[in-house]
Chains A and B, each alone.
Chain A
């Protein structure tokens, strides 16, 4: 089983894993900084710079969720039809639509977003330059003069790969908490 896309959280999240990169260690701090910067770039709509941080073998997915009983929690994550099912090329296409046209109305005028990234846990992998990173994301979104913020909470399972002094995102699976999204679209990245 691929540990970066766990199907059973009770296994993936077993505490005190031997390969945990300790909170506060140099590698942990670098990864945390990478994620904070990423959130900043996305909130500032610096999409071209965000794309530079994606590796070209990227898989970027966001499963559909379903309400299921406690003993069927694996089935609550649906990886057939998903909300995002992307590669590096398709993400570049999405970004190009926004940056290279005057008609990507879904985000023009853009939402004001705030990506709050917390609960970062890092694990080393068999490959010294790759890390599995779990982070919580609370994304608030404000459109037009609507006073109520739209909210979306999720956990992201990332694979980060060291490139020189920084990292690139090689895999991201976004596990959203809502079965019915409160966002009117996913025209923004998570």
Chain B
């Protein structure tokens, strides 16, 4: 349990004033208040586990990438022994960014300002003109290396945190791990990135994108209406894909499980209970899995996970605080089903700006042709030019601005669509389960998780 404090803004407003637990409302002021932003950087981005990339981006010893971890630049390196280190990319001498490339391979990283050099595990090697001791005698060399974050690999995804005594990564995922494992731990060799991420800027506060990622189903009906109108998803009726099961936790994680039978005619018989697991898998494999990979799937998951993955796979959702997860089916005219796999991180760049960082992935063991198709469709549907996500990019800036008005800041964001349906008795998974038409519960849980961290002692 977190130590609770009463986080109070300079005008006396508390976090609990902004987030009304009784009525499930959040004051718009919470969106882009600069004072809150500063606290978020320390209490949210300084404390939780953050997604920084995938190990397939740095396959060889010496490989590195640079990323943002909250507002801190980090250098992520592959070691000789195959392990990965996440290092603060800030020179301990006088604060220059040590590595200025986006990616590459180097045994030694040398700061271009005064020449301090570091091994790719962060250890300080020395400064120029060793005899003259630029680094003095006051601090031992061991104290002059790059600051190392606590890191963890999960399904090849690189996570790190500055919270050294906080929850383990598994504790952070909590009961939701059971579901995330169905996506990230389902095959022998796991996922790989198909290239470096797309990156672009939206003039909006990070939370506008992130609370949506905690599984806002309703917005699909209106903001993404073209999917029914033009792409003819659900034969033109998007409401069919709003029925399913949302799963989430008070840690703010969420996934929307969408029944395959609602989406594919060939899966209509899934409900009758006459088909075996193997038969169903062969008819519509889970997103991103090809028929050839089914034996791996069966090896890696429990029968309960497999059963859910086949009938009602998690397709969209998020991971607190700033990750969007998409494992989406894109049916082709010829009957083939392409699975898109994409992860976004929404990186805070000040109270009014976020960087959208879009990773496109595929199963390592998928055939090359499937990967290339998945990549092309991912580019066309999601990210920079993605026809789905293009439409998200105006709402977030508008909300960020409306939140600043003298009257607007007192408007509340409402999460009052509450699920009243009990979980199916045969629901096989843990965590909080919301059955039926999409509701607001998982998004509300996102705010509860946010509130918890914002009220925690530093």
Contacts and interface: CB of A to CB of B under 8 A. Distances in A.
Which of B197, B199, B222, B383 is most buried by chain A, counting CB atoms within 10 A of its CB? Answer: B199
B230 A85 contact: no
A102 B222 CA distance: 11
Given A68-B103, A106-B390, A181-B199, A90 B230 contact: no
B262 interface: no
Interface in A93-137: 93-94, 96-97, 100-107
A86 interface: yes
B101 A81 contact: no
B203 A106 contact: no
Contacts of B375: 80-81, 85
Interface stretch (A24-32, A37-45, A155-163, A182-190): A182-190
Contacts of B195: 64, 78, 80-82
Contacts of B201: 180-184
B271 interface: no
Interface string B185-203: 0000000011111111111
Contacts of B386: 185
Interface string A63-87: 0101111001001001011111110
A69 B222 CA distance: 45
Given A81-B375, A81-B379, A90-B380, A103 B196 contact: no
A84 B386 CA distance: 9
A84 B200 CA distance: 13
B100 interface: yes
Range of interface residues on B (Cβ < 8 Å): 35 or more
A80 B102 contact: no
A90 B387 CA distance: 11
A179 interface: yes
A46 interface: no
A37 B223 CA distance: 33
Interface stretch (B140-148, B245-253, B391-399): B391-399
B71 interface: no
Contact of B387 (A85, A97, A182): A97
A78 B397 CA distance: 29
Contacts of B384: 83-84, 181, 185-186
Given A64-B196, A85-B380, A94-B387, A184 B229 contact: no
B83 interface: no
Which of B101, B230, B380, B390 is most buried by chain A, counting CB atoms within 10 A of its CB? Answer: B390
B266 interface: no
B295 interface: no
B226 interface: yes
B389 interface: yes
Given A69-B104, A187-B390, 11 more contacts: A68-B101, A68-B102, A78-B195, A82-B195, A96-B230, A97-B387, A101-B226, A103-B225, A181-B384, A185-B389, A187-B393
Interface of B: 100-104, 193-203, 222-226, 229-231, 355, 360, 375-376, 379-380, 383-387, 389-391, 393-394, 397-398
16 contacts: A64-B199, A67-B100, A69-B104, A81-B375, A81-B379, A83-B198, A86-B380, A94-B380, A94-B387, A97-B226, A105-B223, A105-B390, A106-B390, A184-B200, A184-B394, A185-B393
**Which 7 residue pairs spanning A and B have beta carbons closest together?**
A80-B195, A81-B195, A106-B390, A181-B200, A186-B385, A184-B393, A103-B225
